[in-house]
Amino acid sequence: MAANRERVALASFITGSVLAGGNAVGVRFSNRELAPLWGAGLRFLVAAALLVAVMAALRQPPPRGRALTGALLYGVFNFGGAFALAYYGFVQVHAGLGQTLLALVPLATLLLAVVQRQERLRAAAVVGTLLALVGIAVMSRTPLRGSVPLVSLLALVGSALCFAEAAVLVRRFPSVHPVAMNAVGMAAGGALLVAGSLLAGEPLVLPQRAATWVAVGYLVVVGSVVVFVLYIVVLRYWSASRAAYTFVLVPVVTVVLSWWLDDEPVGAGLVLGGFLVLAGVYVGALRSVQAAPARPAVPPPAEGGRRPTAGRP
pLDDT interval class at 139 (50, 70, 90): low
Q: Is residue 175 helix, strand or coil?
A: coil
Find the length of the chain.
313
pLDDT at 144 over 60: no
**What would the pLDDT profile of 158-213 be if each residue is shown by its tens digit?**
999 999 999 888 878 898 899 999 999 999 999 999 999 999 999 999 999 999 99
More confident residue, 142 or 31: 31
Q: What is the mean pLDDT of the chain?
A: 81
**What would the pLDDT profile of 208-227 be if each residue is shown by its tens digit?**
999 999 999 999 999 999 99
Average pLDDT (97-112) is 80
Residue 40 confidence (pLDDT): 95
Report the predicted TM-score, pTM, of the whole model to 2 decimal places.
0.75
Phi/psi for 136 (5° steps) reads: -65, -40
Residue 166 confidence (pLDDT): 92
What are the residue ranges spanned by the domains of the chain? Answer: 2-291
Average pLDDT (8-14) is 86
Q: Which long-range contacts (CB under 8 A, 24 or more apart) does 193-200 make?
A: 193/37, 193/38, 193/40, 193/41, 193/44, 193/79, 193/80, 193/83, 193/84, 194/37, 194/38, 194/41, 194/42, 194/45, 196/37, 196/41, 196/84, 197/35, 197/37, 197/38, 197/41, 200/35, 200/37
Residue 114 confidence (pLDDT): 82
| DSSP letters spanning 246-261 | HHHHHHHHHHHHHHHH
pLDDT at 289 over 80: no
DSSP 301: P
Percentage of the chain modeled with pLDDT above 70:
82
**What would the pLDDT profile of 53-95 be if each residue is shown by its tens digit?**
999 999 999 999 999 999 999 999 999 999 999 999 988 887 7
More confident residue, 295 or 50: 50
pLDDT interval class at 98 (50, 70, 90): confident
Residue 264 confidence (pLDDT): 62
Residue 256 confidence (pLDDT): 72
Average pLDDT (114-122) is 76
- What is the dihedral sign for C-alpha 21, 56, 162, 245? negative
Find all residues with CB under 8 Å of 285, minimum gap 6, and list them: 106, 107, 109, 110, 125, 128, 241, 244, 245
Closest CA to 197 of 32, 47, 34: 34
Closest CA to 179 of 80, 81, 61, 307: 61
CB atoms within 10 A of CB 176: 28
Q: Report helix, strand and coil shares of the chain as percent, to nearest 5.
A: 75, 0, 25
- What is the dihedral sign for C-alpha 128, 131, 132, 133? positive
